[in-house]
Amino acid sequence: DTAGQERYRTITTAYYRGAMGFILMYDITNEESFNSVQDWITQIKTYSWDNAQVILVGNKCDMEEERVISFERGKQLAEQLNVQFFETSAKENINVK
């Protein structure tokens, strides 16, 4: 978990090779976090093995009034990337186990 911080980008590439899966999480109230997903997918495709599993997760789905990324937009991106998708809220215990 590097929370998308640029300072960790160089060290994370070493971890891609051994990873069997990735959870890409963005904040539904933050356009920038959603836009970063494409960068992370590029990194995964470049540095990980071909069969690595990827899941796209829209976080903070309890914050409907602040939402800037629609469920449909997240789902559409997941379909384009051919990955699984769901939304979650740790605060409201939605899709959290």
Helices (H), the chain: 9-16, 31-47, 71-81
State pLDDT tens for residues 16-69: 777 888 999 999 999 999 999 998 888 888 888 878 899 999 999 999 999 999
State pLDDT tens for residues 32-45: 999 999 988 888 88
The radius of gyration computed from the CA coordinates of the chain, to the nearest angstrom, equals 13
Specify the CATH number for 6-88; select among 2.70.150.10, 3.40.50.300, 3.40.50.2300, 3.90.1150.10. Answer: 3.40.50.300
What's phi and psi for 41, nearest 5 deg? Answer: -60, -40
